[in-house]
Structure 1
Amino acid sequence: MSDYSIQEFIEQTKKQGTAKGGFDLETDRILEVSLEDKVWAKMGAMIAYNGDIKFEREGMMEHGVGRMFKKTFTSEGGELMKATGQGQLFLSDQGKKITILDLQKEKITVNGNDLLAFEPTVDWDIQMMRRVAGMMSGGLFNITLEGHGKIALTTYFEPLTLLVEPGRPVMTDPSATVAWSGTLEPEFRTDVNYRTFLGRGSGESIQMEFNGHGFVIVQPCFEGEMSSQ
């Protein structure tokens, strides 16, 4: 058989098995969800499915008045879609690398642009970033997730996890910051007197500072630059 035949291509790229435990990585950039009830996912992330699955946009009152208020009056919170039914669902986001985390009574905060999907057993809320709202165009929206269940994060290329220890703070560029442990509360630093600017060298001088004990996940590309390409 030719190395480049259609049959060889099918063998190399066909779906491998069935998702285990709800979420599974079909490839590094495609999430397979073995759907038996419902799942929340980023709007527009569905690339394929089989079975009897219905998709609905997140309703205005879907998650209560409090979250509706935050989404409406702070312009924060990415749109979600709810997939219900039974079947195999495949999700992806601009070819970004996917990481699955299984929360076990843990808490993590994720940049809203980098949250691909989460199981309905996970409790979540929008974290309001008042201090940064006036510093960056559009601000930042972050989602805090906790409890039991799987979540799927996306990063441009391989993620890097930095450990935060007392007395050894970690500073990051907001556009490269993907997630951080629930034990941390970032502060936003600005210094217009920087002569050598961090990040892309574009003159911005906003950094996130993490103090305490926990971890921060960053990606090697900036969210705004890659999404505009």
Structure 2
Amino acid sequence: MSAAQYLSEGREFVDASICKYLPEEATYPESIHKSMLYSVLAGGKRLRPVLVIASAEAVGGNRQDILPFAVAAEYIHTYTLIHDDLPALDNDDLRRGKPTNHKVFGEAIAVLAGDALLTQAFYLMTHSGLMSAIPPERLLQAAHDMTDAIGTSGMIGGQVVDIESEGKPIDAETLEYIHVHKTGCLIKACIRAGAILSQANTDQLEALSNYGEQIGLAFQIVDDIL
């Protein structure tokens, strides 16, 4: 199977359960749940959850066992997109050919929808009842990794440096910091998560971590060029 075929098949697998762990639109208060589902169902490559699955399978894991964690990775990514599109940040009107979340639901609901998706992601990542085949200490380790990747020492830190660098000359070191942290940290954490959850040994985890660093940096560079 080619990489493109694997990604397509993995996307279909994730999409089949992407709404499974969210309240239905009609659940009160409807506005927040409509907003969450609007962005979650807006399409996309589902790269991050597929990377969770791929790394798990690379070390002998079962994708079904770690599906909630993979879905959580997509919720985290979707939260970042909702917030990135807000007027205070990128101020985008369109996302994947559709009006951005805040254009449809207003800025306040969009902020809360992003917050709610992030909260739901951590609910899933730490829910041992949904992933009973995974040792609880492995869930905790993977969730801790993800927390570090999206906080001020990771994605948010990269976003802040990017904002503060706008309109200023930027050196190669700062640019690499932005690339590694803004996008690379989450991608690396997704790859590490699948391996951690699937009992990867030290050598396997180190190799996949190194791979995650490189692919995360490459992804951001390509995104900037395009």
For normalisation by structure 1, the TM-score amounts to 0.31
* Higher Rg: 1
Question: Which structure exhibits the higher relative contact order, with contacts defined as CA atoms closer than 8 Å and separated by 6 or more residues?
Answer: 2
Q: Whose helix fraction is larger, Structure 1's or Structure 2's? A: 2
Q: Whose strand fraction is larger, Structure 1's or Structure 2's? A: 1
